[in-house]
Structure 1
Amino acid sequence: MGYYVVMLPMLDEEKSRVYRPEHLAYLEEQRGKGRIFANGRFPDGSGGMVIYKADNLEQAQQWAAEDPYVLHGARRAEVREWEMVPGAL
């Protein structure tokens, strides 16, 4: 199991607004399956990020491609493996 960062840069603001409810429902479904470590939007409106817990890069790419934002062309998905280093709290 590894961590995979999915950057979701904005492609179309109107489509992002329209498909936001579907995107959030998709993330909630993925969270319920234990697949999401963290997610959030960028306050400057440039997009957002999801960190998936997956077995491999291909699996994370598949989940990212199934996001309604990506399916409908509102956002692009850029997937990278992430080697998390926990910090001291």
Structure 2
Amino acid sequence: MKYFAVFLPMLSIEKSQEYRSQHLAFLEKKRIEGKIFANGRFVDGAGGLVIYMAQTEEEVKEIVLEDPYVIQKARGFEIHEWDMVTDAVLKTQK
């Protein structure tokens, strides 16, 4: 399994607000399918980042092209294979 960092730069604040619930539902579906390692927005409004888990970049591109944000041109996208290195121990917040 490989990791791919997908930067979703802001193209339209209005469209991002309009399609936010659809985008979040899409991410939840992909999370349940085991395709997402992590995701979140940039607090400066630049867009967001999704770390996908897949075998190939083409597989990730197919997934990203299904994202309502991308379909509606609320966000662009850049895909980069990510060689994750970590010794972090992740804890869930309560």
TM-score range for the pair, normalised by the shorter chain length = over 0.9
Secondary structure of residue in 1 paired with 2:8 = strand
Unaligned segments of structure 1, at least 5 residues = none
RMSD: 0.9
Q: For 2:64 and 2:37, locate their aligned partners in 1 and report how far apart those are by CA, in whole Å.
A: 14
More helix by share: 1
Contact persistence 1:65–1:77 (CA under 8 A): no
Q: How many residues align?
A: 89
TM-score normalised to the size of structure 2?
Answer: 0.91
Aligned equivalent of 1:10? 10
Aligned equivalent of 1:80? 80
Q: For 1:76 and 1:30, locate their aligned partners in 2 and report how far apart those are by CA, in whole Å.
A: 19
Q: For 2:61 and 2:39, locate their aligned partners in 1 and report how far apart those are by CA, in whole Å.
A: 16
Runs of 4+ in 1 over 6 A off after TM superposition: none
Deviation at 1:87, TM superposition (A): 2.6
Aligned equivalent of 1:63? 63
